[in-house]
Structure 1
Amino acid sequence: MRTLLTFVLAGCAAATAGATEPAAAVSSLPADLSASIERVRLPGGEPMGLVGTSLVFELAPGWWVGPALYGAATGHRGGLFTWGVEGQRRWQLAPRWQLGAGLYVGGGGGASAPVGGGLMLRPHADLMFDFGRWSAGVSAAQVRFPSGTIRSSQLGLQVSVHDAFAFAGPGHDGQSLAFAGAGGLGLQRISVQLGRYGASGSEAGFDTVGVRADRPAGRWLETTLEAAGAAKGGASGYAEFGAGLLALWPADARVRVGLHGALGLAGGGGVATGGGTFGKLGAVGRVSLGRDATLELEAGRVRAFTGDFNARYVQLALGVALGASASDTAPGPSFKTVHDTEWALSVEHYVRAQRKTGGAPSLDAIGLEVRRSIGGGFYAGGRALSAMRGGAGAYSVGLIGLGAGTRFGADRAWSAGAEAMVGAAGGGGVDSSGGAIVQPMAWAGHRMGRFGSLKLALGYVKSLHGGLATPVVDLAWAVDFGTP
């Protein structure tokens, strides 16, 4: 286990520590957003459809790295999720044919699947045909949980959409730079959501907390990506991930109204989502609170396609505008204010993880972290973690919050700061009853090359309604850059 984690972190370090600053203030990397589907065989021959998504970047010719998520989509294991990091090596066989080999390393579980501690490995090979702006092909993969009993080899289908990731080097926070397009991931807005799902049959309602990112797709149309988890009620461990379309039309200068629909994967916490796929449709009203902030109210219905979950929902969202807009499709560069941004891959150790059945053995989780400067040394951030060791494979966490940091030393290579985050956690028998948790952290870091840094954080995680209360230690490899 330690050897595998060392390999993952060392790979990220090698990709960034030796990087040099681009000659221009703004540079760009090829990026692929991919989706895959395959049929996994669980012990006893039980079939399960597994859907995966990844966002990978070409850090060196032929070498791609980025975050990835996998979840159950058919069968009886709705709520099984893992997330982690994907690394790939690609070779061009012919002008339109490409062969790839890769490895996914992540953590998670759920739906009582025999995942052991939660570590998931997925070595794979892909044969893809390029259609121009997108490609499609077949994959041969093995899904394996080393500390569990799942080990399945199968063929699958994969589709990738080609894009570009424009960024500035670190140290340009607050400056105005020219971007030929949206810059970054092209996001227009990010929102924090508080929701309520009503009762579904004999199941009681529950509260959720989540985030949603919007990307412009036209004058009145936006694409959305969202994630949420149960924070209060009897569904601790429930999580959902979805993608959708949001259409808004102006009612007056400050108000827009419209519809939002999304499809995705959901389950856990005893919620009857069947195989895991769900859809939701609601009416939306958005009010502008000023130049950058919005308040949004959405109400509608959510339904599992192969389970009994069918409920009304309402959610309130506070949104903050980012750099992208519908006008970014116009030719020529546009000047945008840059914000220092950090992405990190981490391994987090819970000294004690109190269980519902008694006892408090330790656990380790793999995490993905994002932080973005909001000025004055402060930043907004989010973290997602899933257990990979400790016998709590289904335990997952989603956090959002605020922090502050500073750089010091003769070459400003050292940094330190603190943050406070709130969110939802559950699954794996960990006593996070209801789901809501808080996690304050203090951290220190040292720059390793132009873009990379190694960070150590100490903190404490506390469930608001359950017995979970433990010190935590977090080791992360972070990549720093600037985006609009």
Structure 2
Amino acid sequence: MMGLLLGGVLTAMASDVAAGEQPQDTFQTTPTQFRTTYESLRLPQGEKMGLLGGTFLFDTYDWLAVGGGAYGALAGQRGGFITIGAAAELHKRFGEHAEINTGLFVGAGGGRGGYTLQGGGLMLRYHAGAQWHVDGMGALGGGVSWVDFPDGAIHSFQPYISYSFPFQALILPGWVSLDKDETETSRNMPMVEQEFAVVYRRYTIPAGVRTDTGQQQHNSIGLVGVEWDRYLNRNLYMRVESEGAMQGQSNGYMQILLGAGYRQALTDGSWLKLSVAAGPAGGGGVATGGGLLVDAQLAFQQKLSDHLFAQAGLGYALSPGASFRALSYSAGLGYHFFSPKMGAGIVERDSLSGFEARHFRIRLVNQRYLKDAPNWRSHHANLNVDLLGFQMDYFLNDYVYLTGHGIGAYRGMGGGYMTGLVGAGLHLPVPGTPLFAEVDALVGAAGGGGLDVGGGAVWQGDAGIGWQLSPAYSLLASYGVMRSVRGNFRARVASLSLGYSFSLPFR
């Protein structure tokens, strides 16, 4: 099964090279699905942990899909147990409704149990199942899964249930350009409204809240993260958000929430937004019980330009059945855009005239932290830490990009460590060769796994050399340093990543 990811990449690279020889007049939409799963894992001493999963899968062929996802504890006693990683799946449709599938998730992370439970943090999840597609409503399914932490204590076989929401994505391979002049077809094309924001959130915690060990919880936690809103109509939207602690005494705390909201216009360019979200959260000693966090927010949003906006919010978060609850204050800066709403099939280049092709790159990243201080970890200080995750780059032009990554430990007895960083970089092609050089700098939150990151605030700088394998695919090797702002964590960072460059039409 682990060959699925490599096989899919290699065959896609071959077709990408052929397609890159001349500009495309047409583009094929990509069948995509967002799948949620729920299962109950058996842990040592008869303990059970309810695990919620969310995965984006993109069809590379009609029988193979690849993507990425995350899993988090939602019931039991392991709030804060979260992993992220890559996924691959084989599937076969029978008629209009029935489907069978089998796949693999390779992830990193853990939490709330230390290295004795999840070892280095490597998670392997194998599944075999089926689902039934209902027109216009998605697909309901189920099956069996095997979840294994090879150097930890989790080895569990269980049934699961699933819900999949299928849609078509228009992903243009490589970096393409589109005509700026609108045509009648592009002018009348249906569009989807979306927003993406970088957010700082501060939890103010009342005196009665206790940690998961019964101690008094520190009175505040500062978090940094991202939000993505996708509008269903002019007012209703779906939301996905992820944040991690960078201030206070709860490094390692993380939350991944899924929810919905309503937007009400106040004036031309200002709105009120009310949202409710829920999902897995915990770590850093925060008492979230089994892991479920419920969050309600009221935010004011102000348009700054055609695309940029600022927002400020007030909210309340709590873990049902557990001690944690807090008032939240947030501020964010975001980007507002429209993308084409596509059905399955071929899209003519002319129908996208008037849209701007924005250039992105997503990277599957493997990193190694090399010890650079004697007390950088609270245990296993002589072991390096290996990490796996994803990095997304948005190119402002051919040379400057904004970037962000989320990665977790999978080897080195650092299970439970995760980090999320944002920053900027410089991309410098070497003329006449497929080589390029890059430097970047990032800041953000990290914690868990016994790495001494203080309150959770960290920064990282890297420089590297890359090879453009094809118009879409690239390899990048880099080396840098990572430091915590207030803790003893110091590491040299060696990275190797496989990148996929693509364009998305925005307006």
- Identify the TM-score tier after normalising by the shorter chain: over 0.9
Which of these residues, 209, 229, 242, is aligned with residue 214 of structure 1?
229
Amino acid at match of 1:368: F
- Name the counterpart of 1:194: 200
* Structural mapping, 1:96-111, within 5 Å: 96-111=97-112
Determine whether 1:163 maps to 2:152: no
Give how far 1:48 is off: 0.6
Amino acid at match of 1:298: G
Which of these residues, 4, 15, 18, is aligned with residue 19 of structure 1?
15
- Name the counterpart of 2:43: 42
More divergent stretch after superposition (78-87 vs 437-446): 437-446
CA distance in 1, matches of 2:263, 2:488: 43
Give how far 1:406 is off: 2.8
CA distance in 1, matches of 2:189, 2:143: 32
- Name the counterpart of 1:403: 425
Determine whether 1:127 maps to 2:127: no
CA distance in 2, matches of 1:447, 1:67: 23
Q: Measured at CA, do residues 117 and 466 of structure 1 come closer, stay the same or move farther in structure 2, by a change above 3 Å?
A: same
Amino acid at match of 1:443: G
Q: For residue 171 of structure 2, give the secondary structure of its aligned residue in structure 1.
A: strand
CA distance in 2, matches of 1:219, 1:27: 28
> 1:19–1:449: 8 Å Cα contact kept in structure 2?
no
Q: Measured at CA, do residues 363 and 181 of structure 1 come closer, stay the same or move farther in structure 2, by a change above 3 Å?
A: farther
CA distance in 2, matches of 1:470, 1:181: 50
Q: Where does structure 2 lack aligned partners over 5 or more consecutive residues?
A: 210-215
Q: Measured at CA, do residues 187 and 72 of structure 1 come closer, stay the same or move farther in structure 2, by a change above 3 Å?
A: farther
Give how far 1:187 is off: 6.6
Aligned length: 475
Q: For residue 324 of structure 1, give the secondary structure of its aligned residue in structure 2.
A: strand
TM-score by length of 1: 0.92
* Structural mapping, 1:371-410, within 5 Å: 371-375=393-397, 377-410=399-432
CA RMSD of aligned residues (A): 2.4
- Name the counterpart of 2:434: 413
Amino acid at match of 2:478: A
Give how far 1:8 is off: 7.2
CA distance in 2, matches of 1:214, 1:350: 34
CA distance in 2, matches of 1:28, 1:70: 28
CA distance in 1, matches of 2:190, 2:200: 28
- Name the counterpart of 1:359: 381
Give how far 1:258 is off: 3.0
Which of these residues, 324, 328, 337, is aligned with residue 309 of structure 1?
324
Q: For residue 12 of structure 2, give the secondary structure of its aligned residue in structure 1.
A: helix
> 1:34–1:54: 8 Å Cα contact kept in structure 2?
yes
Give how far 1:292 is off: 1.6
CA distance in 2, matches of 1:238, 1:318: 22
CA distance in 2, matches of 1:107, 1:128: 27
CA distance in 1, matches of 2:187, 2:307: 20
Q: Measured at CA, do residues 55 and 187 of structure 1 come closer, stay the same or move farther in structure 2, by a change above 3 Å?
A: farther
Q: Where does structure 1 lack aligned partners over 5 or more consecutive residues?
A: none
- Name the counterpart of 2:337: 322
Amino acid at match of 2:46: G
> 1:399–1:423: 8 Å Cα contact kept in structure 2?
yes
- Name the counterpart of 2:119: 116
> 2:175–2:471: 8 Å Cα contact kept in structure 1?
no
| Identity in percent | 27
CA distance in 2, matches of 1:413, 1:298: 46
- Name the counterpart of 2:212: none
Give how far 1:314 is off: 0.4
Q: For residue 16 of structure 1, give the secondary structure of its aligned residue in structure 2.
A: helix
- Describe the superposition over 1:264-293 as per-residue Cα deviations: whole angstroms up to 9, x where unpaired: 110000001001111111211011112221
More divergent stretch after superposition (43-52 vs 257-266): 257-266
CA distance in 2, matches of 1:375, 1:182: 27
Q: For residue 188 of structure 1, give the secondary structure of its aligned residue in structure 2.
A: strand
More divergent stretch after superposition (197-206 vs 308-317): 197-206
TM-score by length of 2: 0.88
Q: Measured at CA, do residues 100 and 376 of structure 1 come closer, stay the same or move farther in structure 2, by a change above 3 Å?
A: closer
- Name the counterpart of 1:141: 145
Q: For residue 267 of structure 2, give the secondary structure of its aligned residue in structure 1.
A: coil
CA distance in 2, matches of 1:451, 1:86: 20
Give how far 1:376 is off: 5.3
Q: Measured at CA, do residues 118 and 277 of structure 1 come closer, stay the same or move farther in structure 2, by a change above 3 Å?
A: same
> 1:16–1:451: 8 Å Cα contact kept in structure 2?
no
- Name the counterpart of 2:31: 30
> 2:175–2:472: 8 Å Cα contact kept in structure 1?
no
Give how far 1:254 is off: 2.6
- Name the counterpart of 1:81: 82
More divergent stretch after superposition (361-370 vs 124-133): 124-133
- Describe the superposition over 1:82-141 as per-residue Cα deviations: whole angstroms up to 9, x where unpaired: 110110111224442111110110111101150000000011101111112411111210
CA distance in 2, matches of 1:400, 1:192: 9
CA distance in 2, matches of 1:234, 1:375: 39
- Describe the superposition over 1:45-86 as per-residue Cα deviations: whole angstroms up to 9, x where unpaired: 101101111001111220010001111000000100011011
